[in-house]
Structure 1
């Protein structure tokens, strides 16, 4: 057997737990996890002594902004941030221009990824055109995505064509998705309740970060809880696998816990801002730069509890970059600001820092960022775990490296991070995608276009991607 790469001396996080071992890589896949005494020649060796060897993050919720909003970020800059942050696979979102709602727009987005993505990729189109659902599935997607929301005072980040909040329409689409075997990602939102609640705040002139934060968290998060209750019941009625984005309230977490116990196929995610950027102090100090959403203390405690006990399955960044100009207006007109925050570059390291602080076990962190998203989105055995036969998507991290996040290091076009000035106790040193370095020694070294479609081994779309990659000299596998 010809070995391309040997990662030696590190503590390897395997599905059965940590073990001091060497990882062997051949043809872009993990060929073995062996003791250091196993003698075998390799073309290259990386010394990981004193480091953790981890699976790369599978981030199923990423806003690349391409096409249509490339002034915020694009596929290249997003995947540069991914590489620096230990993310080896991204799933893009459909709120683009034009929105990804049919085979034609999805094919265009796939071509864009193929030209410039540094890491592996997939995309979650909006299933708002029933006749297009099966065709988009056939291209190799792993999930669909809709928003149960219509923006107030702006047309972005939830553009027309990506929204759906009529319950009958939701059930109809779930029935279509069931036939594809894919998962349905839903941004929960009770639009009717939000219209009423927002109206009260705006009528009082509270168009500020504090007003906006309070409105979305009003009445203990009623707009989230009622929407999630509907989604869970429709998922049960249809048999459609659903994934709930932005989980953030105690009642919602309890509802998901009950639904799982009842056999509903539901997963949910926590985004970087919920555990790490959602206090009232964050809202007061950072204003529009902290929003996304405010998570009151009781709800944040429930989020951490759900992360620890597995009710919250997945950590996804919800990377949502906006320019300073698009944020600054929010100090006085928050409902006109673009909400969302960049997050993909630092989320994995923030999770590892939480491990060091005793907030989360290392196994739970790895499950949330890598293993479970791969399993639940149809990539088990391909992504998300350090097992023989899986893609060699590997992160090497120093768990005893204290450093400070600054705007100077941000790779997003926006040039800012809400974590500017925050000290973190763990550092990702190297990111490897299919056996090849994409980030090393503090620099992105991956080549644009190296990334390929992430799909199940037996998926015809994956086989086509593998053939295309081979023709392009990408050394896929």
Structure 2
């Protein structure tokens, strides 16, 4: 007898659709049963007509704890994730302090005790003191993050030599290093040329050329060091072209975000500070190129870069557009926004699972337990009803940011239930039960 049996639904994995009932015991999927086959369970869930998706894995989120909890914290951020069908959040290391040492990572892990509603994996930052790498590896973070522009000097690797040297510190570790493809020389030069503080000046400081050069440099350095990398947030035609031509050089993957697939620089006119983030939004031509790359299978992962700020911070007046705190919430809206891409015919539902569940789980060292509805995997399951519709609304957002740039968007599907390791944590858009999230670490 199973603890839970989900009957009548269609399973969606990255490979496609399959009609199977799902048996769950001790938080794991223990059986996938042919429709009509006899089975019993203490709890039977009738999901006839619905889809079962694996819980989403957001590979790029900022939960803002420690030090920045007026913007978000572990509880509020993972609450938003749960409501959005994200059952595993991979948290970035740019809090206060940045997660640069084993002690800082251990402290951050301890802060989650009893406070996270979904599972959380932590990413550590590569600092100029590479001696910290060994101690951090002992704690098995899901990845490391290496920055090439727009960060404090202690975390800046501005030259190809510096990037290659840092990557060599990871040889033999089989971990993943995320790289944001900026170019500090372009940022510095453009800022010196144009001090107007306008939106155009902000865009010019982080142009497609910087992205493309950052991608090329990251791939060349990874090939030289024989390390595994993940390229963050491509969003320009030139960046896509660089990735397309050079991606075979190294063991590498690439991500983009929903905001970069839907908004253009013209949307700054209406949403302004709420859309300010880095990289800047691009031209309609760039967005079309990015969407074509997504449809062609050139994009491995869709992540959110969930980076909320307190409403007062976004609403304040700043001398320059570049000074506005960068980032926006995204965890609660990841699923509905990618479902819009399905409605538009750009991708299919199995592509959603591939880019938002199975690929991030595999790349970030969680593939034996996350990202699939398969025997032996954690029973992180979304029940999605395509016969109902749902609407994204500012009033429903639980992030401390208090808004979403996707306010008012409607999707022809409704997330009716979210299970985390076999336990229902969300029912009809409401969080139920206590915080049962765990820390997840990289598989050895």
1:81: which partner in 2? 80
Alpha-carbon separation, structure 1, partners of 2:201 and 2:154: 28
Structure 1 residues 68 and 456: alpha-carbon distance in aligned structure 2, compared to 1, 3 A threshold: closer
Alpha-carbon separation, structure 2, partners of 1:281 and 1:193: 23
5+ residue gaps, structure 2, are: none
Among 233, 252, 255, the residue aligned to 1:266: 252
Among 208, 216, 220, the residue aligned to 2:206: 216
Contact 1:308 1:364 survives alignment (8 Å): no
1:283: which partner in 2? 268
- Map Cα deviations across residues 93-117 of structure 1 (whole Å, 9 max, x no partner): 1111111000000001111123311
Count residues with an aligned counterpart: 441
Among 377, 381, 385, the residue aligned to 1:394: 381
- Map Cα deviations across residues 268-313 of structure 1 (whole Å, 9 max, x no partner): 101121112x213311100111122212122211211221222210
TM-score (norm 2): 0.95
Alpha-carbon separation, structure 2, partners of 1:47 and 1:159: 53
Alpha-carbon separation, structure 1, partners of 2:442 and 2:102: 20
Q: CA deviation at 1:134?
A: 1.8
What does 1:411-422 correspond to in 2, within 5 Å?
411-422=398-409
Contact 1:209 1:330 survives alignment (8 Å): no
Q: CA deviation at 1:48?
A: 1.2
Q: CA deviation at 1:33?
A: 1.2
SS in 1 for 2:124: coil
Alpha-carbon separation, structure 2, partners of 1:209 and 1:446: 45
What does 1:70-109 correspond to in 2, within 5 Å?
70-109=69-108
Alpha-carbon separation, structure 2, partners of 1:330 and 1:310: 41
Q: RMSD between aligned alpha carbons?
A: 1.8
1:384: which partner in 2? 371
Contact 1:243 1:266 survives alignment (8 Å): yes
Alpha-carbon separation, structure 1, partners of 2:357 and 2:194: 40
Among 242, 248, 259, the residue aligned to 1:255: 242
1:334: which partner in 2? 321
1:141: which partner in 2? 141
What does 1:287-298 correspond to in 2, within 5 Å?
287-292=272-277, 293-298=280-285
Structure 1 residues 161 and 115: alpha-carbon distance in aligned structure 2, compared to 1, 3 A threshold: farther
Alpha-carbon separation, structure 2, partners of 1:400 and 1:214: 45
Alpha-carbon separation, structure 1, partners of 2:211 and 2:426: 38
Alpha-carbon separation, structure 2, partners of 1:400 and 1:283: 34
2:437: which partner in 1? 451
- Map Cα deviations across residues 186-234 of structure 1 (whole Å, 9 max, x no partner): 11111111112233332xx2x23454245434xxx11111111111111
- Map Cα deviations across residues 6-27 of structure 1 (whole Å, 9 max, x no partner): 1111111135421222111111
5+ residue gaps, structure 1, are: 151-157, 460-477
Among 352, 359, 374, the residue aligned to 1:372: 359
Alpha-carbon separation, structure 1, partners of 2:146 and 2:317: 25
- Map Cα deviations across residues 58-107 of structure 1 (whole Å, 9 max, x no partner): 11111000001000000111100110011011111111111100000000
What does 1:115-264 correspond to in 2, within 5 Å?
115-128=114-127, 129-150=129-150, 158-159=151-152, 161-202=154-195, 205=196, 207-213=197-203, 215-217=205-207, 221-262=208-249, 264=250
With 318-327 and 66-75 compared, the bigger mean Cα shift is at 318-327
Alpha-carbon separation, structure 2, partners of 1:214 and 1:176: 33
1:14: which partner in 2? 13
Alpha-carbon separation, structure 1, partners of 2:265 and 2:397: 25
TM-score (norm 1): 0.88
Contact 1:329 1:336 survives alignment (8 Å): no
SS in 1 for 2:355: helix
- Map Cα deviations across residues 358-378 of structure 1 (whole Å, 9 max, x no partner): 121122111000011111112
